[in-house]
């Protein structure tokens, strides 16, 4: 099978994957994230509403007006912080959906291509269950040096961000601290105190709009870079997990 094309990325399918991804991001911005565009004005309105709702409690003979205005300001600040937290959580949720869809589409493409030339379910199951690193090993066996690209680092960071968002503390948080600490908010910034990652936990997770766009751009770059076709002769050293799965199925048939 050395001259047989084992993996083929058809042009229309590539275009469909990119367009589908871009549609998701565009509509998420338009229908979800745009709702947080005027947080300052909404916080000011919340402050005014607090004053209005509390006006019947104000007694000029007993109360200092400045205290009521200060309390109204505090209500506005609290509203803004809660809304800001909701925006950040919404953005993380959108990123998680985006990453999982990309990952499923990648594995689905690999599986469909394998089914064209292999009979058996073992490699199919392995592709669906393999971690991100093993899938990268398989792609690199195509001669595609994916780990040396900028978009691989963005995809790897996105994977860790999504895992921390879903699971909180754990290995992904440790890896994110060690490799991509820029996605963990520095709450000591501006205080003059040095940053200490030992004090950082999953609650520090924060992705800016620019970082979200970088994740999105990485997915587009990835799909554009998938080789048009990969023949058996181009796969010089498939990863052991994949090779064993193929051999295992062939041995079972014989």
76-115 confidence digits (pLDDT tens) = 999 999 999 999 999 999 999 999 999 999 999 999 999 9
Check if the beta carbon of residue 86 is closer than 8 Å to that of residue 100.
no
Is residue 230 scored above 90 in pLDDT?
Answer: yes
Average of per-residue pLDDT values in the chain: 91
Total length of the chain: 254
**CA–CA dist 159, 140 (Å, integer):** 18
Q: Name the pLDDT band for 50 (thresholds 50, 70, 90).
A: confident
C-alpha–C-alpha distance, residues 77 and 219, integer Å: 37
Structure tokens at 62: 């007993």
CA distances from 146 to 24, 143, 150, 189, 224 (A): 24, 9, 9, 35, 12
144-155 average pLDDT score: 96
pLDDT tens figures, 52-81 = 887 666 556 566 667 777 888 889 999 999
Locate 78 and state its tokens: 């609290």
pLDDT score of 63: 63
Per-residue pLDDT averaged across 1-21, rounded? 93
pTM of the entire structure? 0.91
Give the model's pLDDT for residue 53.
Answer: 80
Please write the tens of the pLDDT for every residue from 193-228: 566 677 789 999 999 999 999 999 999 999 999 999
pLDDT beyond 70 at 2? no
Choice between 196 and 178, residue whose per-residue pLDDT is larger: 178
The gap from C-alpha 162 to its chain's centroid, in whole angstroms, comes to 5
Q: Are 2 and 233 in contact (CB under 8 A)?
A: yes
What pLDDT is stored for residue 27 in this prediction?
A: 98
The pLDDT value given to residue 251: 87
Mean pLDDT for 9-21 is 98
**What's residue 125's pLDDT?**
97
Under 8 Å CB-to-CB from 217, ≥6 apart: which residues? Answer: 151, 154
Burial code (b: 16+ CB inside 10 Å, e: under 16) for 150-165 equals ebbebbbbbbbbbbbb
Which is it for strands 5-8 and 229-231: parallel, antiparallel or unpaired?
A: antiparallel
- Chain position carrying tokens 């803004």: 80
What H or E segment, with its residue span, contains residue 164?
A: helix 150-167
Report residue 254's pLDDT band, with 50, 70 and 90 as the boundaries: confident
């Amino acid at each position: 099978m050395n001259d047989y094309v084992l993996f083929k990325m058809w042009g229309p399918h590539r275009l469909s994957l990119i367009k589908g991804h871009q549609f998701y991001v565009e509509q998420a911005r338009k229908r979800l994230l745009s709702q947080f565009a005027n947080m300052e004005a909404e916080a000011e309105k919340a402050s005014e509403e607090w004053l209005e709702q509390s006006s019947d409690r104000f007694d000029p003979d007993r109360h200092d007006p400045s205290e009521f205005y200060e309390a109204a300001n505090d209500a506005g600040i609290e509203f803004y912080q809660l809304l800001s937290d909701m925006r950040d959580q919404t953005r993380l949720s959108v990123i998680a959906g985006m990453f999982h869809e990309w990952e499923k589409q990648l594995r689905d493409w690999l599986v469909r291509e394998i089914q064209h030339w292999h009979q058996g379910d073992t490699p199919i199951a392995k592709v669906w269950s393999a971690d991100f690193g093993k899938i990268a090993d398989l792609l690199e066996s195509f001669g595609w040096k994916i780990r040396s690209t900028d978009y691989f680092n963005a995809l790897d960071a996105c994977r860790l961000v999504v895992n921390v968002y879903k699971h909180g503390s754990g290995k992904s948080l440790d890896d994110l601290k060690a490799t991509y600490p820029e996605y963990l908010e520095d709450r000591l910034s501006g205080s003059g105190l040095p940053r200490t990652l030992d004090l950082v936990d999953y609650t520090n997770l924060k992705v800016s709009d620019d970082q979200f766009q970088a994740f999105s751009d990485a997915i587009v770059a990835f799909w554009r870079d998938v080789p048009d076709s990969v023949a058996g002769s181009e796969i010089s050293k498939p990863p052991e997990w994949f090779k064993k799965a193929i051999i295992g199925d062939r041995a079972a048939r014989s």
